[in-house]
Amino acid sequence: MTLLEAVAKRHTVKAFDDSRSLPDAQIETLLNVLRNTPSSVNSQPWHFVVASTPEGREAIARATAGAFIYNQPKVLHASHVIALCMRADLDESHLQTVLEQEEKDGRFRDAAAKAGQDKSRRGYVDMHRYVQRDLPQWMEKQVYLALGGLLLSAALLDIDATPMEGFDTAVLDEALGLREKGLTSVVLVSLGYRSEQDFNAALPKSRLPQEDIFTFI
């Protein structure tokens, strides 16, 4: 499947076939996509909770009760559900962990290069914390970069997907024990194979025309 074919074919699935599961190899590919997602100054302010069992999906589904009940079947009937989470803060421990991993992976030619990377990253963190005062929003943007890569990769693998913001973050954070780990949930993605009840599969894709959304200079 070509890239253009994949983006033309993909759609937000409204109903999953719960009798089919995704192959482990494909899930591993998608997890590698998430792990290798780019982030601003390589801050990697995320964590991903992968539900591949009925118990895991049921835990996530607790957050889709009440006003979000329409999303519950998309969680319970999918093959896998991934909760994309962000850190509550880019604290000293995380900054040091990232820096030491970069050194372990051979990113620095010498101590000066390591110090320079550390200073640059901290400069951006401090700018968003103290000047622009939008550190949570900045971290959330990085998580949405991961979401975009995940959805495109799933489409290229012919995997059906549904991104969801329709859930109770407080309930999900409690169900997954996220806040005790310094995390909070941002967005869900259900993955699997669509069922015949997926009405959205038969609808044409609708996007604004090219002349309305591109300016060439």
CA-wise closest residue to 80 among 194, 192, 214: 192
- Cβ–Cβ < 8 Å for 167, 188: yes
One-letter amino acid of 165? E
211 has catalytic annotation = no
14 has catalytic annotation = yes
Residue-by-residue DSSP string for 95-150: HHHHHHHHHHTT--SSHHHHHHHHHHHHHHHHIIIIIS--HHHHHHHHHHHHHHHH
From 5, 28, 100, 165, the catalytic residue: 165
From 9, 14, 114, 141, the catalytic residue: 14
92 has catalytic annotation = no
Which residues, including other chains, have CB under 8 Å from residue 144's CB and lie 6 or more apart?
186, 187
First CA to last CA distance, the chain: 32
DSSP single-letter state for residue 81 = E
Residues designated as active site: 14, 74, 165
